[in-house]
Amino acid sequence: MIEAEALTKQFEGRTVVSDITFRCEPGTVTGFLGPNGAGKSTTMRMLVGLSEPDHGGARILGGRYRDLANPGRRVGILLDASAQHAGRRGREALAVSAQTMGVPAQRVGEVLELVGLDETAAQRRVGKYSLGMRQRLGLAHALLGEPEVLILDEPANGLDPEGMRWMRGLLRGFADRGGTVLLSSHLLAEVEAVADRMMIIGGGRIQAQGTRAELLTESGTIVEAADLAELDALLRSAGLVAHRADGDRRLVEAEPEVIARLAIANDVVLRRLAPAEDAGLERLFFELTTSGGSAPPQANSSNAELTGATA
Amino acid sequence: MKATTLAAPIPVNIAGVHTGPGLGRLVAVELRKMVNTRAGFWLQIATVALTVLVVTVRSVVGDAADPTFASLLDAGVKPAAVLLPIAGILLVTSEWSQRTGIITFTLVPVRSRVLGAKLIASLLLALAMLVMAVGVVAAGVLAASPGVGGTWSDAAPLIGQSAVYLTGGMLTGVAFGAVVLASAPAIVALFALPIAWTGVASLSFFADAAPWLDTRLALGPMPQEVMSGTQWAQAATALALWMLLPLLIGTWRITRREVAS
């Protein structure tokens, strides 16, 4: 269980994180999405006491993080895979933490095997690791204390597609056993495949949060026409809101059937007519996170809007 | 890296009631950190090797008349006196420059406990190096001039003073590291500031204050001669300025500073 309440943080007068409130329940994976610099890392640092919020607070497993007797055994953390001493061997880096949190030394071997770092890799100094190896070492470190909560900042960064698939399986299994997972990413695709809930952060504020289905209720229909200008005119005359989409298509905020009937009635030839789904989530993510962030925009209005009127 | 072994189950530890790491365990961890990096490991090896070298050269090449315990000890503790503070600096600054602080301070959120463990670990390492240096010096004395009268005079008080000398220097290193929180600038400051201070203190205006505040003048006699009460007072004021004050500032910095990622 992770609870954040009105977390706010300023650096040198600039508000980096503003009034962030959320809850991550046991048994779920929560995806924390936003572009680089949106405030994800700062929020995560405040959760675990590395950074002190100016307002608000966070509770993990029912209390403040710093009040946990042995936090390494309750909460697994990966905030920066490169934050390891370059001159220390991979196995030794884990062994130091295992000793600190009182985990038997054999657990080091277990997590190394779990993340797929073999003995040769474990004996190398971390300074010689590739980004992917550091990421695996960081995941091994997060799992070392057999925690019940995982807080992972950009854990898929530097993993190959196979590694990403493996990590999704790992997190899914962890949550299914009752664990709580919060993972951040700046890439929608990394998160949406595994997350039960998503929070989209832009400009230091949470712009939208909910399950995938909840976030998609606004999504519409992808339409492609033989004559694009004709299509635009038709949509405008019908009072439907449309947005530019990839490949000279339109994303229309209406059900496919509505558009199909309209096209037949007006003799407009359509080449493509399909529910938006992923395109809708992508658009939502794009719009919410590129607005610069002072005022959260409505999910269905945008700067990419082509036809103004709504009925 | 194979993915075949990655499907093993993770036990989720729901019912865990755990006790936190005690101070003894944290001290052991900090001692381990001082020797388990490449730099840390070779720093300790270099200290031992240089001590052996210096004592050997002194007892063979030096003035044949008096390879006494006192004169050899003065030389024998010098490598440790120079290199221990660097180990002390790195013990603190690596948490920031290598960013291991993200791990250290999430495993032990009360940062003053970490700093306390680092100070105790530093004291233990300094005392271990003292034992090493005294052993090497004693061996050198026995090899060079066994049985000469007065060879061992004042050995006990000199060893005691050397203990203060080495531990004081080591803790000064930790303190400088804690103030600066960056390895290279802290090391430069540790060696450059006292030299700059000596320059300033050579002005006649400061002549009276110098013996009280200049670490070379105030602490230098420790491994050389049995110190008078005044000398002890001078050593205490110098340590207050160069060790205690930075340590207080450093503690304040470490407990408050944001740990960036």
Residue of B1, B19, B33 lying closest to A96 (CB–CB): B33
- C-alpha angle A88/B128/B138, rounded to 5°? 130
What is the tens place of the pLDDT at every residue in B205-246?
Answer: 777 777 888 888 888 888 888 889 999 999 999 999 999 999
pLDDT of residue B63: 64
* Residue A76 binned pLDDT confidence (cut-offs 50, 70, 90): very high
Contacts of A114 in chain B (CB under 8 A): 5-6, 8, 10
Inter-chain contact B98–A115, Cβ cutoff 8 Å? no
- What is the spatial distance between Cα B108 and Cα A62, in angstroms, rounded to a whole number? 18
Mutation site, A73, A100, A119, A148, interface B, largest B CB count within 10 A: A100
Residue A92, phi then psi, degrees to nearest 5: -65, -35
pLDDT of residue B82: 94
Inter-chain contact A100–B19, Cβ cutoff 8 Å? no
**Inter-residue contact B134 to B73 (CB < 8 Å):** yes
Determine the average pLDDT of the residues in B181-204.
84
- What is the spatial distance between Cα B133 and Cα B128, in angstroms, rounded to a whole number? 9
- B45 in reach of chain A (CB within 8 A): no
3-state secondary structure chain A: CEEEEEEEEEECCEEEEEEEEEEECCCCEEEEECCCCCCHHHHHHHHCCCCCCCEEEEEECCECHHHCCCHHHCEEEECCCCCCCCCCEHHHHHHHHHHHHCCCCHHHHHHHHHHCCCHHHHCCEHHHCCHHHHHHHHHHHHHCCCCCEEEEECCCCCCCHHHHHHHHHHHHHHHHCCCEEEEEECCHHHHHCCCCEEEEEECCEEEEEEEHHHHHCCCCEEEEECCHHHHHHHHHHHCCCEEEECCCEEEECCCHHHHHHHHHHHCCCEEEEEECCHHHHHHHHHHHHCCCCCCCCCCCCCCCECCCCCC
What is the tens place of the pLDDT at every residue in A160-174?
Answer: 888 889 999 999 999
Higher-scoring residue by pLDDT: B110, B15: B110
- B21 in reach of chain A (CB within 8 A): yes
What is the tens place of the pLDDT at every residue in A21-30?
Answer: 999 999 999 9
Tell me the two tokens of residue A10. 């300023």
Q: Which of B34, B36, B77 is nearest to B54 (CA)?
A: B77
Sorted by sequence, the CB contacts under 8 Å of residue B188 that are 6+ apart come out as: none
* Residue A157 binned pLDDT confidence (cut-offs 50, 70, 90): confident
Residue of A nearest to B27 (CA): A100
- What is the spatial distance between Cα B191 and Cα B194, in angstroms, rounded to a whole number? 6
- B139 in reach of chain A (CB within 8 A): no
pLDDT of residue B12: 46
Q: What is the pTM of this model?
A: 0.82
Smallest CA–CA distance, residue A121 to chain B, in Å, is 9
ipTM above 0.90, yes or no: no
Inter-chain contact A73–B39, Cβ cutoff 8 Å? no
